Structure 1
Amino acid sequence: MIVIVLTRDVVVLAQPPWGTRPNGFERSPVLAGQRAERSVPLLPDSNGTAPDATVADSMTGASDLPVGPMFAAEDGDVQPLSERLSLNTAPRELRLRDAIQLSLSKSDIVQTLDSGGVQIADVTRYDPRIQGARSDAANAAFDPRLSAAYLGSHVNEPPDAFFGPGLSLNTRRDEGDFIATLSKPWSTGATTSVGYLPPLGYLYFPYGTTDQFNPIYSSSLVFEAKQPLLRGAGTKVNLAPLRIAQLRAEQSLWEVKQATLAQVRSVEEAYWDLQAALVTLDAMEFVFPLVTEVVRIERYRAQSERATRADVARASIQSDQFQQQRLLARNSVVEKELRLRNLMGLEVVDGVRLVPVDLPTRESFTLDHASAVANAIENRPDLVRQRLGVRIRELEYDVARNGLRPQLDLRAIYRTSGVGQRLDDSLQQLSDFQYSTWTLGLTFSVPLGNRAAKANLRAEELQLVRDRALLRQATQNVSFRLMDLIRETETSFAQYELALRRVQNTQEWLRAARIRFANPPPAGGNQDWLLLALYDYQAALRQHIDATTDAGLLLARYNTLLARVEEAQGILLENRGIELTNDPCEAVQRHAEDLFANQPPVLQHATNRPSAPAPIEAAAPRAPSSHATRYSQPPADRQPIMQAGHSVWQEPTGDSASRSRTRPRNYSSVR
């Protein structure tokens, strides 16, 4: 197993000791489900030891053919492989769960496999925080507002400036004005305010006496309230911006969950692809010594004049072709490992090579399409996000419909004032409320024709109808997509079973062909037997490699499709024991009645316009099915590990057989 030590900024892979890996397998452990050593006896080795006398005596009838110099080649012409491509680095066993855990904990940037390469997702784990901050900003719309000002003035006006001609004295004074207002908007659309608003100018006579109306200080306290009665009235309209901001924050959480689903599925896909590449390479490594042994025997026969140079060239061609495929297989292993390293957030080179050790699922599962669609409607992030988008459109439609109404406001103003030679005298007079003024009335305004409001309502209506149609079509597309995935899964498993049968048959063919090639008939028999045996042996080698490669690829494809089926239902994270902090599923289920309590809007302003359609059935959350509820609960024998916005449920240590079962049994029946 692999030991993962998590620190704050670094993930250290601590490698426990293990034994040496076997030289080869008769069947790949991925295909057979267990590790079995090869039982096929090797041909005579290539250290110079000649075949036995029986084989040597049968090599007769050789002839030499000239070979042009342009085709001459030496054995040392092949360039040596680099350390990376030769796979000489130390192996490091890697479990699928550890790969997923590292991928989720190493970076806040989501990466997925797209078009064969690693791509950065448009959504990051910072986006919900950004939308949450914007939601908090929208909530500040009803916060009280305090405004205050102080203005100091020095007045020096020429004669005859005060009241026009008649006062020949110039006006000189120092004036200080202080105003303050505290206002508060309410969810009903009302606005209330209280302010200290003394008049900034008053009747002043230059050089007036104290018994004249010549105050030094004036004060005024004003209470004002305004309540819309038609446009902008009611909590439904005024709270719509807040609810829209909250719904957009919920959408962002669902987008992150969708990207995380794709990330986990991508890690699994890269994991199984690397394992399939290693299976192909194991088949190449198993066959390549046998192919080179055929070349050695043909060269020995040519030296004994029992084979032509064409026979040697034919065997060499087969060997070179196998070596080319072997290089491609090594290159594929390195490519798949680099993809997995990128998804896991590891370094490009760290002195080890990753070797997947978890056994893939080799059992067939039958998935019920109806239950899968129900799970997808309930848990699939893109569908829930679109349902939230429809709810946003409904709120915007309500606001636009309210905009058709005229502006009719009820206004009330109450003012109390005070004046005096001293500030305290003025405030005392103000506090006595002896000199008060009040105003009560209505204000009305409406645009003639109201074309802008009608156009806005029409636009919001069409957007609502469009989003509902898109949601219906998206739900239908998910149903077809799940059916395609189920079909591909069943087809891949059926192909894998056939490929596995081919592997078993080619092993038997290869064993028999090798025995025929290594044990010639008695002298004096048919002289073409060795050539026929060679052809048969080479065909067996080729078929064995093809069958093993196909079986490995199909098994990886099958396990990837199982992950895609779970991703398409939106239950991949739950089935892997992964929980997101602030999981949007809980919030939506908690506020489902408020979020999706849709009322079909009916247009009143125009009879020739179609009303918005009634909410579709998929717009309301469905009660989770029994099997879906079971998957939402974490296993009882796992403990949560909080890291980078995730709770990863750690599996307990146990025997290797129980830890190798990474695929939860989330299907209706087993075939």
Structure 2
Amino acid sequence: MLQRILLPSVISFLIVIFLTGFSPAQESREDILEDASVLTLQSALARGIQYNLDLQVEELNIPISEENLIVEKAEFDPAIEMGISSMEERTPTASAFSSEDFDLYRETGGDIGIRKKFRFGLESQMSFKTSRSMNNSSVDALRPQYRNVLLLDFTQPLLKNFGTEVNTANLRMSQNLVQQTASEYMDRAQRIGEEIELVYYDLAEAQAVFRYRIESRELARDLLQGNREKFKAGVVPITEVQQAETSVASRDEEVILARQQMEIVANRLRDLLGIRPESPLYKEPFVTENIPGTDQTFPDFVQTLATALEKRPDIQRQHMQIANQDIKLEYYDNQRLPRLDLEATLGANGLSGPDRPTSFADFSASSTQVGSYEDSLSRMSDADGYEWYAGLRLSYPWGNRAAEARYRRAGLEKRQAVYGLKRLQETIEKECKNSLVTVKRSLERVSVAERFEELARTTLKQEMERFKEGLSDTFRVLDFQDDLIGAHIRKTEALVDFNQGLANLYRAIGINLERFNIIAATSQKKLIDAEEQ
């Protein structure tokens, strides 16, 4: 009889010992957060702005736009042209004044000139040409001949392409594009900053959940240890031990899952911060700061929207887009006019060469232009020979359909840009409203979660007192432990949602980096430089 009573108890005890001794070993370093270095949110944002590869790609658009601006400015740079040449021509002749069967002509010369387009539309060119020529003409009294010519050519549009505003349209649009690119960089920096802040708080939440899961498991282990002692004393049945053992195993899994989530989020943050294999933070664990509380202030909707419409870089970029469309519309309006150009040419030339007397029918003569090469230059400077030309040239396409179509297209594109601005303003208003809703409702959730947490703590404490007196069981205690841990996690989630709502709000306003005294210096500098140009 005694044997039948003791045998099941001994077997149950051996089962408990077996399960305890051969349960899967936990990692020896589950306190991985204890010795980890602290990464502050401000440090994370500063590092992300500096090392994030997506942002570095965006930043390169700034110098690219500046090079495009230089290209447009170079259109008004003077250009030097020069050349040298040599030629010979041998042409059969039937002239009765020629003693030979061929006319021979050789010339060696060069030219140099400078041309420039002015911003008000004038196109000018000054050129100097010099040559030395020889021929076998029987009537030319100079051999060789030195000829020098100085020319000034001007073309001034009077209707189409007239005026500084028209001729600098591309230049002004390129200047605006530099500012647009800087605004795009700032917008990208703010959005990456927002993403970093959101993931940072995700990591803070994951680390907090990991700690709570460890705390939950330790509560189950303490309960298991107490149940074992009570079982040895014959106070509780083996089912109480088995219930606690099952809970410990379940909470072991929850710890592993929480750690998995924490490591995944940490890797996301490393990617955003540009933490690469050579960085100490690549393999070493790090922890976030304590999650900020609910004592943070934030602006109301009116102030939020007013600041956003003033400071958001994307709305500044859209204003620049409309300004560019205005420039295009003005330019294409001018292109509808007829092309009427005033053309003018002024020139001076000089001629000289060694004397070669000619004779014809017992009559001989010499040239009055006998002299050296220097004499040709002197006669040119004295304008012994000159030329001038002035005229008007009119050009107008039949129907002018292309110019009219371009003007209408520019008008439609401006309407698109205006609609885009209005849509962006609506989007900003929606983002501000939704962010404020998230912040305010998260505050309410934190308040409720704190009450629930306090109630869960009190209830668990009372249930543990009843358990010690034998008035409760393991199942109920474990259930109340789960309620307390769940209350901790719910409060953490609400607090994280509150801080993430603030991150969304300040990004929607356009001051999320400024809030942490972080300025995307490259973008600001380029924006200022573009405004000065």
* Offset, 1:86: 6.4
Distance 2:94 2:350 in 1: 24
TM-score where L is the length of structure 1: 0.68
State which of 172, 182, 187 in structure 2 corresponds to 1:253. 182
For 2:324, the equivalent position in structure 1 comes to 392
1:454-493 matches, cutoff 5 A: 454-493=404-443
For 2:487, the equivalent position in structure 1 comes to 547
* Offset, 1:318: 2.1
Q: Which moved more, 1:321-330 or 1:296-305?
A: 296-305
* Offset, 1:457: 0.9
* Offset, 1:365: 3.8
Q: Which moved more, 1:324-333 or 1:212-221?
A: 212-221
For 2:4, the equivalent position in structure 1 comes to none
Distance 1:297 1:370 in 2: 59
For 1:206, the equivalent position in structure 2 comes to 136
Matched-pair contact (CA < 8 Å) for 2:153–2:344: yes
Structure 2 unaligned spans of 5+: 1-7, 354-371
SS in 1 for 2:149: strand
For 1:284, the equivalent position in structure 2 comes to 213
* Offset, 1:418: 1.1
1:361 equivalent in alignment to 2:301: no
* Offset, 1:383: 0.7
Change (3 A) 1:506 1:191: same
1:513 equivalent in alignment to 2:513: no
Change (3 A) 1:451 1:428: same
What CA deviation, in whole Å up to 9, does each residue of 1:520-571 have, x standing for no partner?
25xxxxxxx343xx23311211111111111112212211211221111111
Distance 2:21 2:94 in 1: 116
* Offset, 1:253: 0.4
What CA deviation, in whole Å up to 9, does each residue of 1:28-57 have, x standing for no partner?
xxxxxxxxxxxxxxxxxxxxxxxxxxxxxx
For 2:398, the equivalent position in structure 1 comes to 448
SS in 2 for 1:396: helix
Matched-pair contact (CA < 8 Å) for 2:213–2:255: yes
* Offset, 1:224: 1.0
Distance 2:227 2:200 in 1: 41
| One-letter amino acid of the counterpart of residue 131, structure 1 | S
SS in 2 for 1:482: helix
Q: Which has the larger radius of gyration?
A: 2
| One-letter amino acid of the counterpart of residue 271, structure 1 | Y
For 1:125, the equivalent position in structure 2 comes to 59
1:98 equivalent in alignment to 2:28: no
Distance 1:121 1:102 in 2: 12
1:69-218 matches, cutoff 5 A: 76=22, 78=24, 80-81=26-27, 87=32, 90-105=35-50, 107=51, 109-110=52-53, 120=54, 123-153=57-87, 155=88, 157=90, 160-161=92-93, 168-171=100-103, 174-197=106-129, 205-206=135-136, 208=138, 212-218=141-147
For 2:357, the equivalent position in structure 1 comes to none
1:565 equivalent in alignment to 2:474: no
Distance 1:277 1:122 in 2: 29
What CA deviation, in whole Å up to 9, does each residue of 1:100-144 have, x standing for no partner?
233333x2x45xxxxxxxxx3595222111111111111111100
Distance 2:56 2:423 in 1: 24
Change (3 A) 1:530 1:186: same
Change (3 A) 1:418 1:345: same
Matched-pair contact (CA < 8 Å) for 1:222–1:414: yes
* Offset, 1:88: 7.2
Distance 1:383 1:267 in 2: 22
| One-letter amino acid of the counterpart of residue 267, structure 2 | L
Matched-pair contact (CA < 8 Å) for 2:98–2:137: no
| One-letter amino acid of the counterpart of residue 60, structure 2 | Y
Q: Which moved more, 1:292-301 or 1:446-455?
A: 292-301
For 1:57, the equivalent position in structure 2 comes to none
* Offset, 1:347: 4.3
1:615-630 matches, cutoff 5 A: none
1:336 equivalent in alignment to 2:265: yes
* Offset, 1:157: 2.5
1:48-67 matches, cutoff 5 A: none
State which of 146, 149, 153 in structure 2 corresponds to 1:224. 153
* Offset, 1:261: 1.0
Change (3 A) 1:104 1:205: closer
Change (3 A) 1:181 1:76: farther
What CA deviation, in whole Å up to 9, does each residue of 1:290-332 have, x standing for no partner?
2023233444555666655544443333222211111111222
* Offset, 1:171: 4.9
RCO higher in 1 or 2 (8 Å CA, sep ≥ 6)?
2
| One-letter amino acid of the counterpart of residue 149, structure 1 | G
Distance 2:390 2:432 in 1: 65
Distance 1:486 1:339 in 2: 26
* Offset, 1:228: 0.3
Q: As a proportion of its length, which structure holds more helix?
A: 2
Change (3 A) 1:417 1:589: closer
Change (3 A) 1:350 1:400: closer
Distance 1:258 1:366 in 2: 21
Q: Which moved more, 1:505-514 or 1:433-442?
A: 505-514
| One-letter amino acid of the counterpart of residue 78, structure 1 | P
* Offset, 1:361: 3.4
| One-letter amino acid of the counterpart of residue 191, structure 1 | E
* Offset, 1:470: 1.2
State which of 326, 332, 343 in structure 2 corresponds to 1:411. 343
What CA deviation, in whole Å up to 9, does each residue of 1:179-209 have, x standing for no partner?
1220110111111111113589x7x641658
SS in 2 for 1:541: helix
Matched-pair contact (CA < 8 Å) for 1:123–1:255: no
Change (3 A) 1:365 1:288: same
SS in 1 for 2:429: helix
SS in 1 for 2:160: coil
1:618-657 matches, cutoff 5 A: none
Change (3 A) 1:512 1:145: same
What CA deviation, in whole Å up to 9, does each residue of 1:497-528 have, x standing for no partner?
111222222222222222222x225xxxxxxx
Distance 1:479 1:586 in 2: 28
Distance 1:507 1:163 in 2: 125
Structure 1 unaligned spans of 5+: 1-61, 111-119, 522-528, 595-671
Distance 2:415 2:99 in 1: 73
Matched-pair contact (CA < 8 Å) for 2:153–2:346: yes
Change (3 A) 1:584 1:163: farther
Distance 1:75 1:64 in 2: 16
For 1:9, the equivalent position in structure 2 comes to none
SS in 1 for 2:513: helix
* Root-mean-square deviation (Å): 3.3
* Offset, 1:271: 2.4
Distance 1:198 1:248 in 2: 46
Change (3 A) 1:316 1:164: farther
For 2:252, the equivalent position in structure 1 comes to 323
Change (3 A) 1:462 1:75: farther
% identity of equivalent residues: 21
Distance 2:141 2:10 in 1: 141
